[in-house]
Each structure stands twice: as C-alpha cells, then as structure tokens.
Amino acid sequence: MRLIGPSFLRNGTNHMAAKKYFFKPEMCDTLIEMGKIGASQKMMWSALGISKDVAEDWKKKHPEFADALGVALVHSQAYWEREMLANVGNKAFNSRIAEIALRGQFPQDYKETRDQKLEVKADVVVDFSGAVNDLIKKLRDAKE
C-alpha cells in the first residue's frame, strides 16, 4: 500500500514543528521596494517568507520593520492612486481592479459608506381618560 501526503501525516504525528523566523534589516528594503510596485501586505509577507502573525510580532519588536512597512504602504497606496490618475481617460484601463486594490488594502481611506433612510409611520393611540379622571378626583379630594 502506497501512502500519499506529507511525511508528518504518515509518521504518526499530527503537527508540524514550529519554524523560527529571524528578522534581517535588509528585509526593510524589500518591503519598501515592493510597496513602490503596489504590492499588498500579504504579497510583502509572502516575499519575506513570513506569516501575518510573524509580521505583527516583528512590528512590535523591530521599530525599523514597522517603519519600513509604514513607508511601503504609503508607496503602495500612491502607486494605485497614480495608476488611476494616469488612466482617467483610458477606456481600456480596468479601473475596477485599481478600486478593489485601494479599498481592500486601504479601507481606512477608501471606505464605501451607504446612508439608509427609513421612514416609519405608526398609529399611536394614547388613552389619558383614566389618568385625567384620577387627577380630577385627587384635586376634588384635596379641595375638601
């Protein structure tokens, strides 16, 4: 019988060994260069061979990584904005892709809002007769 699949599934264990990731300062240059071509954060992390969790950890532990990522994201957003501006009159340009890239990568700046107005009508019947009668009775009793 031939077994298929990764060896860790065949040797009786059901988990993979945790991999150690080591930060290198030159990774900052990679982030910035990728930002200049409009790369998303996931593309940047993929190029560095790290996960989102590792990137979040490095942002806390390595200020230069956090700074480089911030600069890279500015470059990335500027790239997509320049693409849209350069192609305003170009009917062949797929502006929808650029819009999706901007909204997906930079939701804080490109959030679509929709106002919804609801008109609610309700017939409300308020019967004060009992309360008015009680008040009149109390006033009469107070006079006496």
Q: What percent of the chain has pLDDT over 70?
A: 88
pLDDT band at 11 (very low <50, low <70, confident <90, very high): low
DSSP labels for 20-80?
Answer: P----THHHHHHHHHHHTT--HHHHHHHHT--HHHHHHHHHH-HHHHHHHHHHHHHHHHHH
Asked whether the whole model's pTM tops 0.85, one would answer: no
Q: Specify whether domain 18-105 bears CATH 1.10.3470.
A: no
Q: What is the pLDDT of residues 78-132, one digit of tens each?
A: 999 998 899 989 989 888 888 888 888 888 888 777 777 888 888 888 888 888 8
- The domain spans of the chain are 18-105
